[in-house]
Amino acid sequence: MAVGPSWPLFQDDDSMAFQDDIKTWPLAVLGFCGVTVVIVIILAMMVLYHHTEAQLEYERTVRVPFVDLENALAIQQGHLLQYQKTGDEERDGVTKPVYRIPIDRAMEIVLSEWRSGVLPGPPPKPQASVPAAEKSPVSGKTSDGRSGK
């Protein structure tokens, strides 16, 4: 007596033996191997990603091209050595232009204003070499470690 279509899997006669025991260990081994391969691939991709990221970070922070540094230094030197209008400043309702002047000229102006009394305070004294026996106000000892008495 046939149940369903007449395919061999659906035949209900005794001539066909059914095997109830399915061998699962080959499927388990195949599944385990598949999962292991996927995990190894994911870990390898993570290691490759982090290595590449570290290398790019190193190049971005440590190996900065000297061309950029030289250009920045040239721009800064230009700012220190040139006259330039930098903008306008408003004080007490009056807008006045603001200029950048060379550093040497600025030092000359400040010294001449101090000498003429326009700026408060005494003019700066020239920096002399620090004497070796100068006494520290905190410890009372000289810079070479001896007592200043």
As a whole number of angstroms, the distance between CA 12 and CA 5 comes to 11
How much is the pLDDT for 149? 46
- The tens place of each residue's pLDDT in the chain, 149 residues long, gives 545 555 555 555 555 556 667 788 888 999 999 999 999 999 999 999 999 999 999 988 887 667 777 888 888 888 888 888 888 888 888 898 888 888 888 889 888 888 888 877 765 666 665 555 555 555 455 555 555 44
- pTM of structure: 0.33
What distance in Å separates the CA atoms of residue 23 and residue 19, rounded to the nearest whole number?
A: 10
The alpha carbon dihedral of 36, 42, 44, 47 has a sign of negative
CA-wise closest residue to 77 among 107, 102, 109, 105: 102
What pLDDT, on a 0 to 100 scale, did the predictor assign at position 122?
Answer: 65
Q: Tell me what pLDDT residue 128 has.
A: 62
Instruction: Give the pLDDT score at 69.
Output: 78
